[in-house]
Amino acid sequence: MNNLDKFIKLGTAGEGTYGIVYKAKNKVTGKSVALKRIKLEKFCKEDHTEGVPSTAIREISILKGLRHSSIIELQDVMYTSDRLYLVFEYLELDLKRYLDGTSKPVDKELIRSYIKQLCEGLAYLHTHRILHRDIKPQNLLVDKEGHVKIADFGLSRCFSLPTKSYTHEVVTMWYRAPELLLGSKMYTNGIDIWSLGCVMAEMFNKRAMFPGDSEIDQMFKIFKILGTPTEENWPGVTTLPQYEVSFPKWKATELKTHINFNDSEEEEFLKLMLVYDPFVRNTAKALLGTGYLKKAKLTAPDMKPFPDTTEEYC
């Protein structure tokens, strides 16, 4: 029996750019796993290269060295003649599907617990000089016990100090930090913190806070709420490649007029993440020291609407 024969495929759990994710069961342990299948021949044909997609290589190399309760665990890597399988621990669904599938507002203590776990995970990544670069609800997995884990490290990369020049074409647009939208190629862990702030706002509203349909629309949706950035609140912003002096001059508005907060403490905490100047934006470690997160406890959500999210496999 080869390694792949140890698993029984139970259904499809999702589909990504380079392959399908299956829910499977380990015949030996009886535990559920997520099998991410990547077709190598398709990749080779389309990209005229040989080997494994760069996103898969990056994900494997990064996750092999990580062990944290808030980061998805890569348990094994298996090859066949034309496919690569990544074996992950299994969680019921992603945060996006959870938010879309619940009719009631998300419990305030669950939001607090999720954000604390995610800050712990990001603090661990950033301490190891790893940027995730694609924090969004679809890449955050949750289970029935109240855990949330960071997944999909295909766009992640290691960073060094002093910072180097990186591509700004990262992070799904709705969660992309303003320095990226304005074309900065010099950035560090602040881009993950901005994305987490957008995720937190989405947990309150059950919809994306800045749903732009283009880069300029994305910037303007941010500016209309937080105000058009200036040299006063973001030194150096006018020198960024995509900044235009002709930008409309919007004034900042109160976040509570756009977000369904439960109390002022939540609003004050979110403001620490949605800060224009990346050098002022709080780090994950600093956020963990706030009173808001110190009160967090692991809270199990009501997952009754999701007894099984996988589709029948055939």
Query: CATH topology for 94-294?
Result: Transferase(Phosphotransferase); domain 1 (1.10.510)
Strand order in the sheet with 93-94: 93-94, 140-142, 148-150
Query: What pLDDT score was predicted for residue 157?
Result: 67
- Structure pTM? 0.88
Helices 264-271 and 190-205 cross at an angle (nearest 10°) of 150
- Residue 3 three-state SS: helix
Boundaries of every domain in the chain? 3-90, 94-294
The mean pLDDT value for 81-86 works out to: 85
Residue 185 has pLDDT above 60, yes or no: yes
134 flagged as catalytic: yes
At 133-175, the pLDDT tens digits run 999 999 999 999 999 999 988 887 676 544 544 454 456 899 9
Which strand (E) or helix (H) includes residue 35?
strand 32-39
Name the pLDDT band for 83 (thresholds 50, 70, 90).
confident
Task: Give the single-character DSSP code of 175.
Answer: G
Task: Report the C-alpha gap between 143 and 255 in whole angstroms.
Answer: 30
Of these residues, 76, 82, 134, 213, which one is catalytic? Answer: 134
Higher pLDDT, 172 or 190: 190
For the segment(s) 3-90, the CATH number from 3.30.420.40, 3.40.50.1100, 3.30.200.20, 3.40.50.200 is 3.30.200.20
State the average pLDDT for the chain: 87
At 217-236, the pLDDT tens digits run 999 999 999 999 999 999 99
Query: What pLDDT score was predicted for residue 50?
Result: 56
Domains 3-90 and 94-294 share a fold: no
In terms of Cα–Cα distance, which of 7, 18, 17, 14 is closest to 40?
18
Residue 67 has pLDDT above 80, yes or no: yes
Task: Report the C-alpha gap between 57 and 195 in whole angstroms.
Answer: 24
3-class SS shares of the chain: helix, strand, coil, % to 5: 35, 20, 45
